[in-house]
Amino acid sequence: MAPTKRRVLIVGGQFTGNFSARDLKKHFHVTVVDAKEFFEYTPGVLRAFVKPAHFDALSFTLQPVLERKIGVKFIWGEVLNLDQDAKKATIQPMFSPKGVLDEVGFDYCLLCNGCNFNPMHKWGESLWFPTVHANCRAEGSWAHIDERFIEGRRRHILEEYHKIADLNTGDKTVLVVGAGFIGVELATEIEYFFPEIQLTIIDFLKRCLGPLPDSAAEYCSEYMHAAGIKEFYEQKYSPGDKKFYENIEMPNMADKEYICVGVKSSNYFMNKEVLSDKGPGGGGWIHMNEHLQVEYKPTFVDGNEVRGDVYGDGSIFAVGDCNYGCIGNPKQWVLPPIPKISYPGEEQALHACINIIRKDKLQYGGHGMCTSTKMLKTWWPWGAGMFATSLGPHDACFVMAANDVKGSGYMVNWWLPAAIQKEFIETTKIDECRDGWVGCMIWHFVHHTPMHCWGKGCTQSPQNCCAGRCCFACPNQSSFCGSTCCGT
């Protein structure tokens, strides 16, 4: 008789959670929990604030897709605590009175809860991610709107749209703080749809798109200059400082300011002993090992960093934007910092899914899966070096082959073809997340691929990995490593 299926709890139903649910549903009883009721395509949401009708193309309600199409359980609620010993999560369900909590047990847990933005705000509040956590909502700038509901998110987008539209009078100014790809996209979207607004963008670095190649930075800078967007670099943002505003030719300050700098962790439910003391936005990121298992924060012995032990029994994994994004330190990276974008998050999700399957095979005998039980080590995925930056709806630039070295990569596509490429990626990716057959056919092989082209590829030996040269039907393949098919 076949062994009983184990339970997997996935915290977060966005890119990595959605991906993991589809990959694990055949082998486990999967439950996905998310604090909001909808999926939102974050890379394209800036367009919605200047064209609200676009939000409908970027979002969908999670429950019908996860339960009726993918075939997993969905809980709409916020995880308040994760008990590693009892293997259970304490959840505040959406429609239960405050303090009336549910406890959900699991055999394996996959943390896909992402992050917030805007490290200058206590809770990382920003336009490009809904404010959904209980503590954040109470102290947020739009507490009158509940963005856990898709309708609440839509109302916030409409409210911000009207604020921007009211500035389109010819003498109103907007300051965008941060000239990374988010800041550049926001400034160019506003300029295209509301050309009367006087826009200024600043950054602490010497140019826009700091870590990307010079060719991409120059292309975006030329576009902004031609569009009349003023650029000021090597400027530290000092709100309220009259001299600062004079230096950027805004003596009367800005009528509206948007903060587009960095990310901030949102791992409020995790044990403090596994959260980093440092990192973007002041730390709070989940430490993980090479197998993406959560581990305790490192300690220091005689000035040397000593890695922490695995958290619990190694059944809790962290992938994507919620984890520390690197292993080791700048003196000797085990895994260099990975950008907090969707592609590497999904790649890590695949690695974690493989390791959950292998761990289950080792402990319980599995379900006719790959014969290997050795854990797969994650790597710096080549797709982490792909960046598509919109410059309004009809222009963009696309960088690929970047890695952890600043300025690496190549701008391989630009102007209208790049804008069309980004629209194609957005449309088909959302269709895949909806479990649409067109999107699934296009995107399945992006991560379940037999080879990598750039970046830090698979380093597993043929004896440890069944992932290379496998037939495309093998659910455990991931990247070329010179091994032969595992035979499933």
Per DSSP, the residues of 154-175 read HHHHHHHHHHHHHTTTTT-EEE
How far apart are alpha carbons 279 and 40 in whole angstroms?
A: 26
pLDDT tens column, 143-158: 899 999 999 999 999 9
What pLDDT, on the 0 to 100 scale, is given for residue 486? 36
For residue 369, name the pLDDT band (cuts at 50, 70, 90).
Answer: very low
Across the range 58-86, mean pLDDT stands at 96
**CA angle at 435 for the pair 432 and 437, rounded to the nearest 5°:** 75
**Complete domains list, the chain, with CATH:** 7-119+264-373 (3.50.50.60), 134-263 (3.50.50.60)
What pLDDT, on the 0 to 100 scale, is given for residue 295? 95
- Order across the sheet with 173-177: list the strands: 230-233, 198-203, 173-177, 256-259
Question: Of 223, 187, 217, nearest to 205 (Cα)?
Answer: 217
| pLDDT of 3 higher than 90 | no
How far apart are alpha carbons 176 and 182 in whole angstroms?
A: 10
**E strand or H helix that includes residue 262:** none
Tokens 């963009």: give the residue.
Answer: 396
- 448 SS3 class: coil
Q: Exposed, middle or buried, 17 (CB in 10 Å: 0-12/13-18/19+)?
A: buried
For residue 434, name the pLDDT band (cuts at 50, 70, 90).
Answer: very high
What pLDDT, on the 0 to 100 scale, is given for residue 405? 86
Contact 256, 164 (CB under 8 A): yes
Instruction: Using DSSP bridges, classify how beta strands 387-390 and 396-400 pair: parallel, antiparallel or unpaired.
Output: antiparallel
Contact 282, 258 (CB under 8 A): no
For residue 373, name the pLDDT band (cuts at 50, 70, 90).
Answer: low
Across the range 438-467, mean pLDDT stands at 65
Radius of gyration of the chain (CA): 23
Mean pLDDT of the chain: 88
| DSSP collapsed to 3 states, 374-436 | CCCCCCCCHHHHCEEEECCCCCEEEEECCCCCCCCCEEEEEHHHHHHHHHHHHHHHHHHHCCC
Across the range 81-108, mean pLDDT stands at 94
Across the chain, which distance is largest between two alpha carbons, in Å?
A: 77
User: What is the separation, in whole angstroms, between the first and last Cα of the chain?
Assistant: 20
| pLDDT of 472 higher than 50 | no
Across the range 447-456, mean pLDDT stands at 66
Sign of torsion over alpha carbons 388, 435, 25, 60: positive
Number of helices and strands in the chain (H, E):
12, 22
For residue 451, name the pLDDT band (cuts at 50, 70, 90).
Answer: low
| pLDDT of 377 higher than 50 | yes
Tokens 């995107």: give the residue.
Answer: 443
How far apart are alpha carbons 274 and 283 in whole angstroms?
A: 11
For residue 476, name the pLDDT band (cuts at 50, 70, 90).
Answer: very low
Please tell me what DSSP assigns to residue 442.
H
Contact 137, 143 (CB under 8 A): yes
Higher pLDDT, 485 or 176: 176
Cβ-Cβ contacts under 8 Å for 450 (sequence gap 6 or more) = 468, 469, 470, 472, 477, 479, 480
- Cβ of 470: how many Cβ atoms within 10 Å? 23
How far apart are alpha carbons 344 and 325 in whole angstroms?
A: 10
How far apart are alpha carbons 450 and 480 in whole angstroms?
A: 5
| pLDDT of 287 higher than 70 | yes
Instruction: State how far the alpha carbon of 487 is from the alpha carbons of 14, 28, 158, 476, in Å.
Output: 32, 21, 53, 11
pLDDT tens column, 381-402: 888 889 999 999 999 999 998 8
pLDDT tens column, 160-209: 999 999 999 878 999 999 999 999 999 999 999 999 999 999 999 999 99
For residue 461, name the pLDDT band (cuts at 50, 70, 90).
Answer: very low
How far apart are alpha carbons 36 and 38 in whole angstroms?
A: 6
| pLDDT of 7 higher than 60 | yes
Distance from CA of residue 270 to its chain's centroid? 18
pLDDT tens column, 305-364: 888 899 989 999 999 999 999 998 888 889 999 999 999 999 999 999 999 999 998 887
Give all strands (DSSP E) within 172-229, no chain letters: 173-177, 198-203
pLDDT tens column, 207-242: 999 889 999 999 999 999 999 999 999 999 999 899
Please tell me what DSSP assigns to residue 323.
B
| pLDDT of 1 higher than 90 | no
- 79 SS3 class: strand
**E strand or H helix that includes residue 301:** strand 299-301
